[in-house]
Amino acid sequence: MSAANRKKQWLALVGWVALCFGAAAFGGMFGPGEWYASLRKPSWNPPNWIFGPVWTMLYIMMAVAAWRVWRFGSGDGRQKALGLFFAQLCLNAAWTPLFFGLKHPALAFGDIVLLWLSLGATTVAFFKMDRVAGWLMVPYLAWVSFAAVLNAVLWRMNP
């Protein structure tokens, strides 16, 4: 691989990371605040400090996964897989303003169900393009599964 091509590959990776952290930054504008602190929570609710490190790793992993599909995938399959990736990233970015911004766990639950479905489709599509990319999405899918259950329980406990 030529130096120019290597540079292009690294710049593309930086672009995917920036895109994913852009979605995170949008969500970061809507912090948990007093409203979230006042909610009744299940005993298994994670401590607030865990969310930052977990999401940081997940955003890095999903960026690398998308980059690998962009780099190694081809044809309509790649376009479909990356289209699904963008869709799930938009749904991901929408959850935080719905839950924390609007303080509406029901709307946020609807969003996270759509996120989970699109993320599942993205993961399957990524596996078809690149096995490493598919595996990089699995922890994200697991975390969103947990978050969906938590969202539902918070909604039920705080009507």
**Alpha carbon 156 to its chain's center:** 24
Instruction: State the Cα–Cα distance between residues 151 and 99, nearest whole angstrom.
Output: 9
Q: Are 39 and 158 in contact (CB under 8 A)?
A: yes
Structure tokens of 75?
Answer: 């044809």
Separation in Å, CA 11 to CA 21, 69, 74, 102? 15, 15, 19, 36
- The predicted pLDDT at position 68 comes to 98
pLDDT tens for 126-137 read 999 999 999 999
Map out the domains of the chain with their CATH numbers: 3-157 (1.20.1260.100)
Check pLDDT > 80 for residue 1: no
pLDDT tens for 13-53 read 999 999 999 999 998 889 889 999 999 999 999 999 999 99
